[in-house]
Amino acid sequence: MKLSEGVEQAIHCVAMLSQLSEDGVLSAAALAEFHGVKTSYLLKHLQALSGAGVLRTLPGPKGGYRLARAPQSISLLDILLAVEGPEPAFRCQEIRQRGPNPLPVKPRGPCQINAAMLRAEQSYRAELRRTSIADVLTEVAAKDEDGAIEARGCAFLAVHERRQGG
Amino acid sequence: MKLSEGVEQAIHCVAMLSQLSEDGVLSAAALAEFHGVKTSYLLKHLQALSGAGVLRTLPGPKGGYRLARAPQSISLLDILLAVEGPEPAFRCQEIRQRGPNPLPVKPRGPCQINAAMLRAEQSYRAELRRTSIADVLTEVAAKDEDGAIEARGCAFLAVHERRQGG
DNA sequence: GATTTTGTACTCGGATAGGAAGTGTCCGAGTACACATGG
DNA sequence: CCATGTGTACTCGGACACTTCCTATCCGAGTACAAAATC
């Protein structure tokens, strides 16, 4: 029950991309440098986000990544599913039907243990679904009384953001 | 975000152990045979459950495992934590403080991204905490209209259960 | 025959190999800019 | 001087090694029963 580190990196990247201008993009190298992570590894997750329709990519020099839609409509669940895949954490192996004396007939309903675990996971996903990147940024801004976090992000964007002027 | 197969096996084993008499025990070999899984691997998780205080062990011949407390007071969360460990799935690496230009001062509060992910996980755990093994068995019995599942369990227990007579 | 002693068989417990998935790295396809060249 | 063609540098994209954790396995410690020897 461990999430890969890519999830955290992906969320931070999406949060950062939310703060650039409408026509701006940010390269994977810049994102990796800002977060102090390996570019090659981050690329894998950025590609996953791009494939999932969360990010939009712009090839070529002056290229990079930007959000595919507004931060209000990007949930943490979208990012999680893009990076970790859609399959649930608990995968019922139907061990009821295994062993030397399995259930003679195929059980009518699903395994109740599986149902209970999936119920919990639905609760987990529901919480992530109702939390958008915009919400997270709002919380960050609320706690960022001295503006240090915002200042850091702005300073970095001022240097590395690429405007598609025209 | 994948749970190990041991979690499912552990839950099924605890459910089975809930159905034997007060002074009965079941060996790991029997549990493994019933569920069609490898004994050696199951032992690892049974030991984890034992170490977590969910199961109680009885050594020697005629030995085996039994519940350490009533099924009503054993939650799915207890089993999950015993098998997977207590640390949360999302582990914040505090990448805010990494990179070439980290936050100059240690952030006042925790990372809001971490907070949001942990909030979701709390929801997940809360759901598992309020679901006891007894609840699961109740649901199973409710769906088991023809009694096939119960009959299968009883037949197996009749052969493999060991009573500590006296 | 009853008791004690010994031996054995069975259990759990922890330490030890193998394999899948996450982590980290590489090279290739594509595009925009810059420069050189020709008109 | 302007337009065009070409070259280069930079980007993302997917395919390839390495490490960690899950999976699978083995051997050792401990206990209860059973049998044998002794009183």
Say if residue B104's pLDDT is above 70.
no
Tokens of B152: 């299968």
pLDDT over 50 (residue B166)? no
Percent of chain A with pLDDT over 70: 93
The whole-number average pLDDT for the span A117-130 is 98
Distances (CA, A) of B7 to A77, A93, B37, B142: 24, 11, 13, 23
Round to whole Å and give the CA distance between B118 and B124.
Answer: 10
Note which residues in 79-98 of chain B have CB less than 8 A from chain A: 80, 84-85, 89-93, 95-96, 98
Residue-level pLDDT at A127: 98
List, for residues A56-103, the tens digit of each pLDDT value.
999 988 999 999 999 999 999 999 999 999 999 999 998 887 866 666
Residues of A in contact with B152 (CB under 8 A): 101, 103
| Domain boundaries along the sequence of chain A | 5-163
Lowest mean pLDDT among A3-17, A27-41, B93-107: B93-107
Nearest residue of chain A to residue B1 (CA atoms): A3
More confident residue, A164 or A135: A135
User: Which residue type occupies A47?
Assistant: Q
Given an 8 Å threshold on Cβ–Cβ distance, is A149 in contact with B34?
Answer: no
* Percent of chain B predicted with pLDDT > 90: 81
Which residues in chain A have Cβ-Cβ distances shorter than 8 Å to B114?
Answer: 8
Sequence-ordered list of residues with C-beta below 8 angstroms from that of B86, at least 6 positions apart, any chain: none
Confidence band, pLDDT 50/70/90 cuts, at residue B109: confident
Task: Give pLDDT tens digits for A2-21.
Answer: 999 999 999 999 999 999 99
> Residue A107 pLDDT > 70, yes or no?
no
Contact A92 B8 (CB under 8 A): yes
Beta bridge partners of B57: B65
- Whether residue B116 is predicted with pLDDT greater than 70 in this model: the reply is yes
Separation of B70 CA and C10 C1' (Å)? 28
Provide CATH code, domain A5-163. 1.10.10.10
Mean pLDDT of chain A: 92
Q: Does A100 touch chain B (CB under 8 A)?
A: yes
pLDDT of residue B102: 65
Average pLDDT over residues B73-83: 98
Q: What is the mean pLDDT of chain B?
A: 92
> Residue A165: its pLDDT value, please?
58
Of A90, A95, A112, the CB nearest to B143: A112
Residues in CB range of A155: below 8 A, 6 or more apart: B101
CA-CA distance, B5 to A93, in Å (whole number)?
8
